Chain A
Amino acid sequence: MAVLLELNDVSARYGQVQALHGISLTVGEGEVVALLGANGAGKTTTLRAVSGTVRRSGDVTFAGKRLGRAGPESVARSGIAHVPEGRGIFAELTVWENLRMGAYLRRGRPDFSAVLAYFPWLEARRTQQAGTLSGGEQQMLALARAFLLRPRLLMLDEPSLGLAPLVTREVFRVVVDLNEKEGLAVLVVEQNAAVALQAAGRAYVLETGTVAVEGSADELRANDAVRTAYLGY
């Protein structure tokens, strides 16, 4: 499998506080990778270092090109869609306007038929204000909008946050669907390790800003330390 995203000794800080201490990881073409770990381990910061919403040092390479100091606008243009924590939808705009923003970089009239195949219910809600959708619907809208960017890599930050277990399962089902049918690579940060390991082929466990454990989903499920700390059995 060809490597799509590679982080090599990446660090990041918020002012005086160093949040990442040299992270190295890879995501292959069409692969689903999970980032697990406790609060404050640096999972969110890892995604932000890739998308350029926090200043990074070290090498981030995407599709053979080094991202260097590229900011979020340029990273998005290069084919990485980042759905941030809290989903980042435009609450005051309508559902349809949110989708049009997803297609912002495309020329001409946007064609939503591909995205509506995965999220058919959006059609009926097109004029609804996005902020009035339920949490799960907002997460789905954020996914749909990210997909319209036509990315090669989708980065999801805590998609299960604040969602009921059934809704979480539904969200992950769509993510796996997008991965299998569209060949979209996925890097997902998740508190809910059990759900994430079902969807992911491989996973990294972060502890205090570094990679503590890495391996396939099966290996991690079998790892006693990971099981007691993150899976709870």
Chain B
Amino acid sequence: MQQFFEALMTGLAVGAIYAPLALALVLIYKATEVINFAQGEMAMFTTYIAYALLTHPHFGHTFSYWPAFFATLVIAFVFGVGLQRVVIRPLERASVLTVVMATIALLVILNGLAAWIWSPELKFFPSPFPTSSWVVDGVRISKQDTGTFGVTIACVVVLWLFFRFTKLGLAMRAGAVNPDAARLLGVRTSWLLALGWGFAAMLGAVSGMMTAPTNLLSPSMMQAVLIFAFAGAILGGLESPVGAVAGGLGLGVLLSMLGTYVHPVTTELQLPVALAILLIVLLVRPAGVFGRAVVRRV
């Protein structure tokens, strides 16, 4: 039982890294039906920005962790909005495939740019949480894992409140369902898409800053995470934000459990297992666990 709870906690912490990235993918997919392949590299790039804030003096002083964390979120938002305006918006009338190709180009560019600016070698990235653990009834609970999970849940809740209770959030949901109708009501949908990219970039930054302390910071840090996040998003249903979060967390727990109880599933096998899950879901339940097949009256 102790082994089970420890595997569960580890899994939730790992899933808490996948979940924000999965949610970022879903946000953009729901609004534009585009899978943003650059999502992982955007996250990596903003994590480097956090690294720069933490290690180099800016205006005479270096940031401590939490100011750097929130400053990075703001920078990530501006970065996401900017990318949408400069790279994606000119392709507004182009096919989905063209936009997907543009995101793949972005992936390569951001990866190369990060390696060029900060050098490709691995870097240590600090964690705001201590490495010690609590012991409750013989179960070790890592403070780091708990913190990672807490940060993700906080971000998801804030975003949910925004979409549920604000006019702008409502307009973004309406624009995702029926952009033409939203425009006829005076909604500037093009700006809402940019806003969506901003939020996606912020979620990516959270995922990146939570990944870097354990996986070390490098330009290729987020590539595997993106695939896990993608599998998580498919598992939950690409159309469902709740599903993306649940799918990301669920995938983390599943992989952790397999690693604990089914010994052949070592670290090397995690990626193939995640992709196998992705394929099985696509074959058995293409809409995902939380997705619904689209049914409408005509």
- Chain B residue numbers with a CB within 8 Å of A162 are 298
Tell me the residues in window 90-122 of chain A with beta carbons closer than 8 Å to chain B beta carbons. Answer: 90-93, 97, 100-102, 104-105
Whether the Cβ atoms of B296 and A131 lie closer than 8 Å is: yes
Contact with A along B176-204 (1 / 0, CB 8 A): 01101111111111000000000000000
B295's nearest neighbour on chain A, judged by CB, is: A131
Indicate if the CB atoms of A90 and B184 lie closer than 8 Å: no
With both beta carbons as reference points, the residue of chain A lying nearest to B292 in the complex is identified as A92
Q: Does B61 interact with chain A (Cβ within 8 Å)?
A: no
- List, in ascending order, chain A residues with CB within 8 A of B181's CB: 84, 88-90
- At the interface, yes or no: A128 with Cβ under 8 Å from chain B? no
Is A5 interfacial (CB 8 A cutoff)? no
Residue from A53, A97, A104 whose CB has the most chain B CB atoms within 10 Å: A104
Q: How far is the CA of A90 from the CA of B177 in the complex (A)?
A: 6
- Complex: how many Å from CA A97 to CA B177? 12
A131–B181 alpha-carbon span in the complex (Å) = 14
Question: Contacting B186 at CB < 8 Å: which of A77, A84, A134?
Answer: A77
Cα distance A97–B181 in the bound complex, in angstroms: 14
Contact A88 B177 (CB under 8 A): no
Interchain CA distance A199-B189 in the complex, whole Å: 34
Contact of B174 (CB < 8 Å), options: A77, A86, A101: A101
Chain A residues, CB < 8 A from B180: 53, 72, 84, 88
- The verdict on A84 contacting B184 (CB below 8 Å), with A93-B173, A101-B174, A104-B167 known, is yes
**Contacting residues, chain B, for A145 (C-beta < 8 A):** 185
Q: Which residues of A contact B184 (CB under 8 A)?
A: 51, 53, 72, 76, 81-82, 84, 88
State how many angstroms separate the Cβ of A125 from the closest Cβ of chain B. Answer: 15
Q: Which residue of B lies closest to A71 (CB)?
A: B183
B271 close to A (CB within 8 Å): no
Residues of chain A lying within 8 A (CB to CB) of residue B182: 90, 101
The yes or no answer to B122 lying at the interface (CB within 8 A) is no
Pairwise interchain contact A105-B170, C-beta atoms closer than 8 A = no
| A-side contacts of B171, CB under 8 Å | 101, 104
Whether A101 contacts B185 by the Cβ 8 Å rule is yes
Measured as residues with beta carbon below 8 angstroms from the partner, the interface class of chain A is 20 to 34
Most chain B CB inside 10 Å of its own CB: which residue of A72, A81, A97: A72
Q: Which residue of B lies closest to A155 (CB)?
A: B184
Q: A93-B174, A104-B167 are in contact. Are A76 and B296 (CB under 8 A)?
A: no
A149: contacting residue among B178, B183, B185, B188, CB under 8 A: B185
Contact: A105 with B296, CB < 8 Å? Answer: no
* A138 proximal to B (CB < 8 A): yes
Distance between Cα atoms of A72 and B181 in the complex (Å):
9
- B58 at the A interface (CB under 8 A): no
Determine how close the nearest CB of chain B comes to the CB of A63; give it in whole angstroms: 16
A58 at the interface (CB under 8 A from B): no
Q: What 0/1 readout, one digit per residue, does chain A (132-156) give for beta carbons within 8 Å of chain B?
A: 1011001000000100010000000
Among B173, B185, B297, contact of A104 (Cβ-Cβ < 8 Å): B185
* Inter-chain contact B188/A73, CB cutoff 8 Å: yes
B177 engages A149 (CB within 8 Å)? no
Inter-subunit contact B186/A90 (CB<8 Å): no
Cα separation A155 to B133 with both chains bound (whole Å): 65
Distance to closest chain A CB from B205 (angstroms): 29
Known: A97-B170, A104-B171. A91 touches B177 (CB 8 A): yes
| Docked pose: A90 CA to B298 CA in angstroms | 13
Q: For the complex, what is the distance from the CA of A71 to the CA of B187, rounded to whole Å?
A: 11
Which residues of chain A are within 8 angstroms of B178 by Cβ–Cβ distance? 88-91
Closest residue on chain B to residue A86 by CB atoms: B298
B194 to chain A, nearest CB (A): 14
A149 to B183, CA, bound (A): 12
A96 to B183, CA, bound (A): 18
A82 to chain B: which residues have CB within 8 Å?
Answer: 184
* Chain A residues proximal to chain B, CB less than 8 Å: 51, 53, 71-73, 76-77, 81-82, 84, 86, 88-93, 97, 100-102, 104-105, 131-132, 134-135, 138, 145, 149, 162
10 further interface pairs, Cβ-Cβ under 8 Å (given A72-B184, A149-B186)? A53-B180, A73-B183, A76-B184, A76-B185, A82-B184, A90-B173, A93-B174, A104-B171, A105-B185, A145-B185
Q: List 26 A-B contacts (CB under 8 A).
A: A71-B183, A72-B183, A73-B183, A73-B189, A76-B183, A76-B184, A76-B186, A81-B184, A82-B184, A88-B180, A88-B181, A89-B181, A90-B181, A91-B297, A92-B173, A93-B177, A97-B170, A101-B187, A102-B185, A104-B185, A105-B185, A131-B296, A134-B297, A138-B297, A149-B186, A162-B298
